[in-house]
Amino acid sequence: MISKIIDEDLIQKTNSLLQKCDNIVLITHEYPDGDGLGSALAMYDYLSLEGKQVSVLLPNEIPSFLQWMPGADSVIVYEQDPETARSLLGQAEVIIFLDLNSMERVGAMASFISQLTVHTVLIDHHNLREKPIAHVEIQLPQIASTCELVFRYICRVGAFEKLSKDCAVCIYTGMMTDTGAFTYNSQSNEMYLIINQLIVKGIDKDEIYKKVYGNYTENRMRLMGYALYEKMEVLPVYQTAIITLSREELDRFGHQAGDTEGLVNQPLNISDVRFSVFLREEEQNEIKISLRSEGDLSVSKIAADLFQGGGHFNASGATYRGSMQEALRIIKEALPNYLGTPEDEEDN
Ligand code: 5GP
Ligand code: MN
Q: What is the mean pLDDT of residues 185-192?
A: 97
Give the confidence band of 1 by pLDDT, cuts at 50, 70, 90.
Answer: confident
| Alpha helices per DSSP H over 231-281 | 247-252
The continuous run of DSSP H or E covering 278 comes out as: strand 275-283
Task: Identify the nearest ligand to the CA of 310 by its number.
Answer: 1
Q: Write the pLDDT tens digit of every residue in 217-265.
A: 999 999 999 999 999 999 999 999 999 999 999 999 999 999 999 999 9
Question: Under CATH, which number does the domain 8-213 receive?
Answer: 3.90.1640.10
Mean pLDDT, residues 132-155: 97
Ligand 1 centroid, distance to 279 Cα (angstroms): 13
Q: Where do the CATH 3.10.310.30 domains begin and end in the chain?
A: 218-347
Task: Check pLDDT > 50 for residue 53.
Answer: yes
Does 82 have pLDDT greater than 60?
A: yes
Whole-Å CA distances, 299 to 83, 102, 339: 37, 17, 11
Whether 344 has a pLDDT exceeding 90, the answer reads no
Q: How far is CA 235 from the centre of its chain?
A: 28
* pLDDT confidence of residue 343: 59
CA 162 – CA 290 distance, rounded (Å)? 38
Ligand 1 atom nearest residue 290's Cα? 2
Using CB distances shorter than 6 Å, the residues near ligand 1 are: 31, 33, 102, 105, 126, 264, 290, 309-312, 315-319
Candidates 179, 316, 319: which one to mutate for ligand 1, based on the most atoms within 8 Å of Cβ? 316
State the burial class of residue 247 (Cβ atoms within 10 Å of its Cβ: 0-12, 13-18, 19+): middle
The residue nearest atom 14 of ligand 1, judged by CA position, is 317
List pLDDT tens digits, range 282-311: 999 999 999 999 999 999 999 999 999 999
The minimum-distance atom of ligand 1 relative to the CA of 291 is 2
- Do residues 63 and 261 touch, judged by C-beta distance below 8 A? yes
Q: Where are the alpha helices (DSSP H) in the chain?
A: 8-20, 34-49, 82-91, 110-114, 146-156, 165-177, 189-200, 205-213, 218-230, 247-252, 299-307, 324-338, 342-347
How far apart are the CA of 278 and the centre of ligand 1, in A?
A: 12
pTM for this one? 0.95
Q: How far is the CA of 318 from the centre of ligand 1 (A)?
A: 6
Between the CA of 333 and the centroid of ligand 2 the distance, in Å, is: 29
Closest ligand (CA of 302): 1
Q: Are 266 and 254 in contact (CB under 8 A)?
A: no
- CA-nearest residue for atom 6, ligand 1, is 316
Instruction: Give the number of the atom of ligand 1 that is nearest the alpha carbon of residue 126.
Output: 12
Closest CA to 340 of 297, 304, 279: 297
- 347: how many CB neighbours lie within 10 A of its CB? 8
Q: What does pLDDT average to over the chain? A: 96
Which residue is closest in CA terms to ligand 1's atom 3? 290
Among all bound ligands, the one having the nearest atom to the CA of 261 is 1
Cα Rg, the chain, nearest whole Å: 20
Residues 6+ apart with CB under 8 A from 197: 151, 160, 168
Question: What does 167-201 look like in DSSP terms, one character per residue?
Answer: HHHHHHHHHHHTTTTTTSS---HHHHHHHHHHHHT
Predicted confidence (pLDDT) at residue 346 exceeds the cutoff of 50: no
pLDDT for res 348: 44
Within the chain, which residue ranges are assigned CATH 3.90.1640.10? Answer: 8-213
Residue nearest to atom 10 of ligand 1 (CA): 311
Q: Which ligand is nearest to the CA of 174?
A: 2
Mean pLDDT of 146-157: 98
pLDDT band at 25 (very low <50, low <70, confident <90, very high): very high
Determine whether domain 218-347 maps to CATH 3.10.310.30.
yes
Buried residues in 164-202 as b, exposed as e (16+ CB within 10 A): bebbbbbbbbbbbbbbbbbebbbeeeebeebbebbeebe
